[in-house]
Amino acid sequence: MDAYRVPVRREDRVRAGLALELVAASTGVPKERMEMRARLEGKACRARWLAMYLSYVTFGWPMDRVGHAFGLNRSTAAAACRWAEDGRDRPAMDDLLDRLERCAKAVMEAPKCELPA
């Protein structure tokens, strides 16, 4: 039996993908590893938690929406965000998250570019 999946808007998938790519670029953990449906361990798990937290704070998403965008439940999203928030006590983690937030906001707030057909 397949796991239940909540339909996710295209815009949310794009934003979650941006968060994953920014975290991948900053940590060296490939986006594909963070997107695996199996239970993640170690760095891949913590990197996905950072992407979830980035989505929560940057896009202002509630936990349900964070969980849905990452294919997880609300309680997993909340645990990830608590872990990341606790990590902000460390200056290096706080600096990383500040930089990631600025990057994500800059991309999302940039004027849309119309591409020729």
> What pLDDT shows up at residue 109?
92
User: Does some domain include residue 71?
Assistant: yes
Question: Domain span at residue 35?
Answer: 10-104
> What pLDDT shows up at residue 1?
42
User: Does some domain include residue 114?
Assistant: no
For residue 59, the domain's CATH number is 1.10.1750.10
Q: Which mean pLDDT values do the consecutive 10-residue runs of the chain (117 residues) have?
A: 69 96 97 88 94 97 95 94 96 97 94 87
> What pLDDT shows up at residue 4?
54
CA distance 68 to 88: 24
> What pLDDT shows up at residue 37?
79
> What pLDDT shows up at residue 50?
97
